[in-house]
Chains A and B, each alone.
Chain A
Amino acid sequence: MTDCFTRFNGIVAGLEDKGRADLRRQGLPETAVRHRLELDMRYGNQLVTMAVVAPRPRLEGIGDVVGLMQLFATDYGRRFGQGSQSPEAGIRATTIRVASYVQGDTVEFDTAPPDGSATAAAPVGSRLCHFAGVAGAVDTPVFDESALEPGRSVPGPAIVTTPTTTYLVEPGWRIETGAHGAIWFLANSPEKEDRR
């Protein structure tokens, strides 16, 4: 990659042409198409490759290659620890990828925690459960997935069974479901909140 810039840039241009053609076929205006050049890179023979987004869409000189190596090293260090990079083992770019896209609208999600206005869900049964720190068995309400609809609240102790997982709500805790279906485990006292 240090001496084949023309070939490399030809591959990138070819991929850009294909991406542009794909988007045009889908009815998007050609002038709105943007491209992002990504290289999957790794050190030596390791399994993991990491995508590096090239700051410029073409390689013009060694400086561009060194820049890519530095971007890769920075991201690698962020993930695995500064100093863990091993460029001495060789750096390989295993994939050249061009993402072609047209900028669309952004959906804004509501990330605020529940405001306390949730209404209690109705249990579908109960069973005896043992909890750490509580002597003897506790008759614990069991809920189904309807308890997890947005705006619902389940006070602990409780069990919520769904087709994919089971939620255990310990005594002193509750769960509330936010607007987009995010399930919040909330403690009833600040002391327990620290242990969340």
Chain B
Amino acid sequence: MSDTDAAQFTSEDQEWVDAFLAETTLFLGPDPQIMNDHRMAPRTAQEDRLLSGPIDPNDLDRVRKRIVAGLDEAFEMMEQTGAAPGAKWGDLTSAVYSASGDLIHISTGGVLAFASVLHYPVRFINKYWIGDPTVGVRDGDAFIHNDARYGNIHNTDQSMILPVFYDGELIAWVATIIHEGENGAKEPGGMPSSSESAYDDGIRMSPFKIVERGQIRRDLLTFLQNSVREPKLQYQDLKVKLYSAQRIKERLVALLDEVGRDAFVASLRKSLEDIEAEARRRIAELPDGTFRVNFFSDSTLRENVLLKYPCAVTVKGDELTVDWRGAAPQFLNRAFNATLGTAKCGLGQAILGFFWPDLPRGISVMNPMEVLTDEGSCINPGLEAPLGQSLQGAFKTFGVVQALFAKMQYSCPEKYGSLIAPWFNQINTFLFGGLTQHGEFVGNVCADLNGMGGGARAHRDGENSMAPFFAAMADLGEQEIIEDDVPFLQLISKKIKRDAQGFGKHRGGMGYEIAVAARGTPLWGFATVSSGSKFPAVPGLFGGYGCPTYPLAKIKGVNVFQQMQGAPRNWSFDFETLMNAQPFTGARYTTHHMGMGFELADEGEVYMICQGSGGGYGDVLERDPEAVMADVEAGYLSPGTARDVYFVVSDPATLAVDLAATEAARAEERQARLGRGRPYGDFVNAWVTPEPPQHLPYYGSWGDDNSIIHATAWTTQGPVRVSGPMNQLPQIMLPDPNLLALAAQQARIAELEARLQKLDGQ
């Protein structure tokens, strides 16, 4: 049928077509109508009626606090009884929704970013399963999901979504969700950086009913246990999530008994509408205009590339538009793509975690916000894009928004959070997999990622190894408890990494280094899943430096446990010294970028990484020289860096600052800066090129024109630079970097063999 015919449909025709299609849907994939809508649902007629009367603010306050108390109780239950490392150290949340699926609130502790993504699966259940005769939603049921395409941060997180009935009416939903880790993906631990297709990402659960009449369905549980590497974890935490969700439900029913149905329903809606009203009031206080930043990632996690993440935030009246158009295209065989919902988590996190940390954590905080992306970009990819390390997208959308917030609020008399440089935002930690000392196969992640350095503030340094930007109250984990569960030791354990500092008038919070080695296991391996080894992971603010780059370092081909038995003094407690001194004979010392696909490690082989720093704030020449030397004294900064970066002159023996010499050195540097400076127009003329350099594997817009995307596509002829609107670009699929390395070696061998033949012939 042509479009002209379709336009002649009568309303009756349309009804027939709709009815036919409703009964004959082949596949209930992620619903774009649900997945593109981050706002709360419109008022129902009933909510409208209830809100037309007076609302007692004390009742509203009581309902909200009781809900939060119930959520916090469930959070505590999950943290205490959960088996996943993520559960124990705070990578989880609990949530309450209205009957329409609007997220009312999440727990105080845990991962705040869930607040902007957890409504999607509930809406899916509401839309498709309630009326489906083969599914249905009844009291005592509960649903599970993990697939980020149906709404999730990433596929390691598994939910338990439970309807709350009151006098037979579906009156609310509750959910509990834990970063479980292992999910049967290509690599152990659930976040495969080497994922090359959506089907490498592991089990992908659309929302389905796992609990009926209060009982976990054993047939489905068995299927799930068979689909992952940790059947025990899958079983145990499913129960943990179910009983924690039931606890919230009990609290809600008790609250309903107390305040009555109408007051409960009215309070939930009023709470959301109040949040939106306050968000609008605060946006209206911001100066109108457009604030822009361009930022980059340096890695697909398989190879070094440059991926652009532009951001333009426009404030107009009481509304915000966040424009991420011009971002790199999706890669169909790389793992860093993030769904639009995941990308918006970065925005929600920046708002609720840092910009307006005092607001209740409800979905409606993002109601006054419009988000623009290119379909087919790495932050709004198609359904076939792998999402194994989709955190990369959310980290970047968080980082660019946070970089702008400080500029937007700088001149506002009233601020609701500190003026802060971007928080460190990569998960520099080890994923692991293998057989434990207890004979169990596991695959999961170390909580060390929770030691991210805080951004510097306008009034003070960032906090060292403070918290992940997405969960202010997450924990680092007790090393003794961890070693009770898994067979590897931290040979360097959480020592602040010297010189890895976001320099500035106020410096970024620094990160720690760790070194791990497996011991007493027949099979073990590690992976790392971060970018930031070539280009800073986060920028600085107002002249402050960004996070320094960092390597992954390995000492392979040697068992350091054996070495240390004979010569313990050969060991050093920082990897800078180990890599420079190379104390173990016969070992291989190598450095790499931080995207290491899972690889096996023999006993005593050492893997070393460090956390990054938060961004610095302000000019290094304005930093208090005593503060610089305090860092030197603490071992956070080398004397050379104090002199070269901060221009602080000190007595090498006593570390006492020579104030006069320092001021002279700084005055000299200011003069040198004037000498290096160029008028802006001259700089632009000399620096800006019409296109990205040909040799650079570059992805995204170039300059200010975000409508044209540049990309290095791979063909049988090798890499080819292409450019055009996003929807006209070829699909990007990169070759296996190991095959490229092999091809280069083969070519070299052929070349040398030809020379040899030539010599033989002479």
Residues of chain A having any CB pair with chain B under 8 Å: 43-48, 80-81, 83-84, 86, 88-90, 94, 132-133
Contact = CB atoms under 8 A, between A and B. Distances in A.
B418 interface: no
B257 to A, nearest CB: 13
B485 A86 contact: no
Given A44-B83, A84-B239, A89-B232, 6 more contacts: A43-B81, A43-B83, A45-B485, A46-B88, A88-B236, A94-B484
B57 A86 contact: no
A86 B236 contact: yes
6 contacts: A46-B80, A47-B481, A48-B80, A84-B81, A88-B232, A88-B235
B243 A80 contact: yes
For A47, A88, A89, A132, the residue with the greatest tally of chain B CB atoms inside 10 Å of its CB is: A47
B243 A132 contact: no
Nearest to A90: B232
A83 B243 contact: yes
Contacts of A47: 79-82, 87-88, 481
A43 B79 contact: no
B80 A132 contact: no
Contacts of A89: 83, 232, 235-236
Interface string B45-79: 00000000000111001000000000000000101
A84 to B, nearest CB: 4
For A48, A86, A90, the residue with the greatest tally of chain B CB atoms inside 10 Å of its CB is: A86
Contacts of B79: 47
B89 to A, nearest CB: 9
Interface string B235-265: 1100110110011000000000000000000
Contacts of B61: 132
A1 B88 CA distance: 26
Given A45-B83, A46-B82, A133-B58, A84 B240 contact: yes
Contacts of B240: 46, 84, 86
Interface in B434-477: none
Nearest to B438: A90
A96 B657 CA distance: 55
A81 B246 contact: yes
Contacts of B236: 43-46, 86, 88-89
B235 A80 contact: no
A81 B243 contact: yes
Q: How large is the interface on B (under 10, 10 to 19, 20 to 34, 35 or more residues)?
A: 20 to 34
Nearest to A43: B236
A102 B246 CA distance: 42
Contact of A81 (B232, B235, B247): B247
A132 B56 contact: yes
A65 to B, nearest CB: 19
Contacts of B233: 45
A80 B83 CA distance: 15
Contacts of B242: 84
Contacts of A80: 77, 81, 243, 247
Interface string B210-223: 00001000000000
Contacts of A81: 243, 246-247
Contacts of A90: 232
Nearest to B475: A47
Contacts of A94: 484
Contact of A133 (B56, B82, B83): B56
A27 B440 CA distance: 50
Interface string B81-98: 111000110000000000
Contacts of B243: 80-81, 83-84
A87 to B, nearest CB: 10
The 7 closest A-B CB pairs, nearest first, are A48-B80, A84-B243, A81-B243, A89-B236, A132-B57, A45-B83, A47-B88
B487 to A, nearest CB: 13
Nearest to B259: A195
Contacts of A46: 80-83, 88, 236, 240
A146 B513 CA distance: 51
A5 to B, nearest CB: 22
For A44, A45, A46, the residue with the greatest tally of chain B CB atoms inside 10 Å of its CB is: A45
Contact of A86 (B58, B214, B239, B247): B239
For B57, B77, B80, the residue with the greatest tally of chain A CB atoms inside 10 Å of its CB is: B80
A89 B481 CA distance: 17
B412 to A, nearest CB: 25
A98 B543 CA distance: 60
A47 B235 CA distance: 16
Contacts of B232: 44, 88-90
Nearest to B481: A47
Contacts of A88: 232, 235-236
For B83, B88, B484, the residue with the greatest tally of chain A CB atoms inside 10 Å of its CB is: B83
Nearest to B247: A81
Contacts of B56: 132-133
A165 to B, nearest CB: 17
B647 to A, nearest CB: 45
Nearest to A79: B77
A43 B481 CA distance: 14
A89 B87 CA distance: 16
A189 to B, nearest CB: 15
A80 B58 CA distance: 30
Interface string B560-596: 0000000000000000000000000000000000000
Contacts of A44: 83, 232, 236
For B56, B236, B247, B484, the residue with the greatest tally of chain A CB atoms inside 10 Å of its CB is: B236
A86 B235 contact: yes
Contact of B58 (A48, A84, A132): A132
A191 to B, nearest CB: 14
Contacts of A133: 56-58
Contacts of A83: 214, 243
A94 B484 CA distance: 10
Nearest to A170: B58
A48 B81 contact: yes
A119 B233 CA distance: 60
A17 to B, nearest CB: 27
For A46, A81, A88, the residue with the greatest tally of chain B CB atoms inside 10 Å of its CB is: A46
A71 to B, nearest CB: 17
A182 B246 CA distance: 34
A133 B56 CA distance: 8
Contacts of B77: 80
Interface string B606-641: 000000000000000000000000000000000000
Contacts of A84: 81, 239-240, 242-243
A45 B544 CA distance: 43
A46 B87 CA distance: 9
Contacts of B485: 45
A25 B80 CA distance: 38
A45 to B, nearest CB: 5
A64 to B, nearest CB: 24
Contacts of B88: 46-47
A45 B214 CA distance: 24
Contacts of B235: 86, 88-89
